[in-house]
Amino acid sequence: MVFKDERGAFYETYNQNLFEKVTGKQVSFIQDNQSTSNFGVLRGLHYQIGEMAQAKLVRVIQGKVLDVVVDLRKDSDTFGEHFSIILDDVKQEQLFVPKGFAHGFITLSPTSKFAYKCDNFYDKASERGIIYHDATLELDWHLSEEDFIISEKDKLLPTFLEATK
């Protein structure tokens, strides 16, 4: 919730009691991360496997991004389905990304500052990903591909079918 007055604004970014009430989940966040990106930077789709899988609570501090999650839980009714939402510094909404989901975002504003809480530490050996232009998922990133700025590592990620076999 954002509280505004003549001095500016106050925003409670995390309240464990409210989080548990809204999500119905008890999550112990142990690491906070923040990235800064320019227009068109696409990060993802990333996830970790096994004991190092991560749940995340994500938000935009500055700017606007399209945030995308893909359900990778093979026993789920929504396996292979995706969800996207625009997160920005105006609405101040947050998205909870449970374990078992791939996550990515693209910056739609000139720059963005993106913050996320994780319930597990980053582990390079457990890191996985899915290519951003996967034909099975048919994701709409809201920008022309000629505007994308993607790391070399993310350009080499496997397809959804390769990653989930």
Residue among 46, 47, 122, 132 flagged as catalytic: 46
Residue in this structure with the two tokens 């789920």, named with its chain if needed:
76
116 tagged catalytic: yes
Among candidate residues 82, 85, 81, 40, the one with its CA nearest the CA of residue 60: 85
Active site residue 132: no
**From the candidates 47, 82, 103, 116, which is the catalytic residue?**
116
Cα–Cα distance measured from residue 67 to residue 102, given in angstroms and rounded to the nearest whole number: 11
Instruction: Note if the bond before 45 is cis, omega within 30 degrees.
Output: yes
> How many C-beta neighbours within 10 Å does residue 11 have?
12
What is the set of active-site residues?
A: 46, 116
